[in-house]
Chain A
Amino acid sequence: MTVIIDYGVGNLFSLKSSFASIGEEAAVSRDEKTILSADRVILPGVGAFSDAAAKLRETRLDRTVKQLAEDGVPLMGICLGMQLLFDKSYEYGEHEGLGLIKGSVRPIADVIPKGLKIPHIGWNALDIKKECPIFKKIKNGDFVYFVHSYYAADCGDSVVATSEYGAPLTAAVSSGNVFGCQFHPEKSGDVGLAILKAFCEVTR
């Protein structure tokens, strides 16, 4: 079973519905035992990095997530959930992340030309950089839906795909069984559902 971690950040309705629509059982939970016994785990998130990181620590689920990664349980961070996987974020100050993937989260404004709107919101094409099990059904140029003002920088060879918005912005990353999508697969139509389906086929 897939477990979607509920640490009080964001709306999990669409995510839960999208798993139901692809015929995969998904539970929303904040219980450590339930999460650690899952076949795979989703770390969602919207809002500010520091708030979300604080909530993960308060609920002690930060340790649970690190344990999952250590155990090789397939783990996917979505949007802010992806950003939390990195070493740190420079969103309003400097905040420590989970450190599961090398890199840092920085303002989009630092790399894109002036005049482009922020947040980067809407449908953008994927430019695939490396093979990844969750992208096995995805073609170069497929469109996914983004809403974000910060992006993952310096992530080296963990980059799976980027999207062009005045600069190539990290769209997806992977390192071992840890995956991250900056876009919202649960809002990216059939392309997004294919990514979630492929994630459900990744095993320990």
Chain B
Amino acid sequence: MITKRIIPCLDVKDGRVVKGVNFKGLGDVASPVELAKFYSSAGADELVFYDITASAEGRALFTDILVETAKSVFIPLTVGGGINSVRDFDRVLKCGADKVSVNSGAIRDPSIVSEAAKLYGDQCVVLSADIARVDGAFRVFAKGGRENTGMEAIEWIKRCVENGAGEIVVNSIDTDGVKRGFDFEMLKAVSDAVSVPVIASGGAGCIEDFITLFKTLPKVDAGLAASIFHFGEVSIKDLKEKMAEAGIPVRL
């Protein structure tokens, strides 16, 4: 049986890994290449590299780092950040990415999803959605969670899946950085609505949060987190051993 995946996310700016709490207050952590190698040997099932650089220099640096990482890490690698066109897909795939995650780029131009799916296959296109509750409804946010698009989140995700998104990262802005567990209500709404893999993001604070996630919502395929792994609050090895003890299928 397919195992539940544990995915560390590396936010990269100017060639370094950073992580914000509620998307603000970035602090330097480590070299992305070294961190990627470390996670791969610790048992991470996949890695996400998120480019949060705005400048062209930063983008070139990111590309170099991606090539370096892909040369030394042999688990699936997803790249996101600054993906605004099919050209951007091509750029990161040529540098060794296996999947490409698109967020604001798809909001600006939803045809990116279908075009990329046609060219590279559905399995290559990951839709990342930043979602928050606004007056009791799930809304999609753009620009790193700063701008409310007003779009209803579940409808948006369903539309992207129909267009060829092969996987969905659900990032709850409401629980991100709070470390009190994943957003079950939001994750349930998404996993009930689509049949492609759903990756939970935002809110993990301890091992128990992951176990509760997979026990409560067996349709969720993977858990993604950043700072709790980077700062050693949760070790991937311990986490996966505890998941196995709890009867959750996991790669050890």
Contacts and interface: CB of A to CB of B under 8 A. Distances in A.
Interface of A: 11, 13-14, 17-18, 20-21, 46-47, 117, 119-125, 143, 145-147, 164-165, 186-190, 192-193
For chain B, which range describes its interface: under 10, 10 to 19, 20 to 34, or 35 or more residues? 20 to 34
B74 A123 contact: no
Contacts of A46: 121
A17 B70 contact: yes
A147 B74 contact: no
Given A121-B197, A143-B3, A164-B1, A18 B123 contact: no
B234 interface: no
Contact of B3 (A18, A122, A189, A192): A122
B96 A122 contact: no
B2 A147 contact: no
A120 B221 CA distance: 12
- Give the 3 A-B residue pairs with the shortest CB-CB distance, closest first: A143-B251, A123-B251, A122-B2
A121 B166 CA distance: 10
Nearest to B72: A21
Contact of B123 (A20, A147, A190, A193): A147
23 contacts: A13-B70, A13-B95, A14-B74, A17-B96, A18-B74, A21-B74, A47-B121, A119-B123, A121-B166, A121-B197, A122-B221, A123-B2, A124-B2, A124-B3, A143-B3, A146-B2, A165-B1, A187-B75, A187-B98, A188-B74, A188-B75, A189-B74, A193-B74
Nearest to A115: B195
Nearest to A193: B74
B122 to A, nearest CB: 8
B215 interface: no
B45 interface: yes
A28 B5 CA distance: 32
A47 B195 CA distance: 20
Contacts of A20: 71
A119 B45 CA distance: 17
Contacts of A119: 122-123, 166
A164 B40 CA distance: 24
A122 B74 contact: no
A4 B130 CA distance: 40
B132 interface: no
Contacts of A17: 70-72, 74, 96
B93 interface: yes
